[in-house]
Amino acid sequence: MAELGFPGAMLYGRTGNKLADHPDNDELYAMAERLAVPLHFHPQTPVGPVIDAYCSSLPEPVGPVLAGAGLGWYYDLGVQYLRMIFSGVFDRFPDLQVIAGHWGEVVMFSLDHTGFFGEAGSLRQPLADYFKQNFWVAGSGTDSPRYLRWTAEVMGT
């Protein structure tokens, strides 16, 4: 990243079958943290079994749209972000910064469940604190004054 002068990088949450919290990504996360550049994860269609379970029996074109930009993208990437938090990525790389598009890929809207998440996982701090410290939230083309107000309320400005 430094050689090419990139101010960050864009990648997917999954690479093949490896999820965002896979240890193979630690070198990338360490480099991004060292260079103080953010990583922007772009959503992608969920894995086949998820699409089959939730979208395959719906009429065309509803199933494929729901699996993709209709909803599936955002839940798929939101789960990746939660996996990164719960598996300790941000404990190992506390200064790693992630740009979460589409108003936080649904994670921001479930942060009120921090009591459950704190008890269910062995987090060093509340779930919401990881999100507020390590994530920047962008609308990513979703023009919504309501979501903007919610983001400012939850994340600060």
DSSP 73-107: HHHHHHHHHHHHHHTTHHHHSTT--EEEHHHHHTS
Pairwise pLDDT comparison (116 vs 71), residue with the higher score: 71
Residue 4 is assigned to a structural domain of this protein = no
Residues 103 and 142 sit within 8 Å (Cβ to Cβ) = yes
The confidence score (pLDDT) of residue 19 equals 96
Residue 1 has pLDDT above 60, yes or no: no
Higher pLDDT, 19 or 141: 19
Domain assignment of residue 70, yes or no: yes
d(CA 99, CA 116) in angstroms, rounded, equals 25
Residue range 144-154: mean pLDDT, rounded: 93
* Residue 75 binned pLDDT confidence (cut-offs 50, 70, 90): very high
Averaged over 138-154, what is the pLDDT? 92
2 within some domain: no
Range of the domain at 73: 9-155
For residue 123, is it within any domain? yes
CATH number for the domain spanning 93: value is 3.20.20.140
Q: What is the mean pLDDT of residues 64-73?
A: 93
Q: From CA 9, how far away is CA 20, in angstroms rounded?
A: 14
With 70 as the cut, is the pLDDT of residue 138 above it? yes
Is residue 42 assigned to a domain? yes
Torsion over CA: 9, 127, 149, 79 (sign): positive
d(CA 80, CA 12) in angstroms, rounded, equals 10
Question: Quick one: average pLDDT of 30-50?
Answer: 95
* 15-33 pLDDT, tens digit each: 888 999 999 999 999 999 9
> Quick check: 132 pLDDT over 90?
yes
Q: Quick: pLDDT tens for 48-62.
A: 999 999 999 999 999
Q: How many domains does the chain have?
A: 1
| Residue percentage of the chain with pLDDT more than 90 | 75
Structural domain includes residue 78: yes
> What would the pLDDT profile of 88-122 be if each residue is shown by its tens digit?
999 999 999 999 999 999 998 888 776 566 666 67
Is residue 3 domain-resident? no
pTM score of the predicted model: 0.91
Q: Does residue 144 sit within a domain?
A: yes
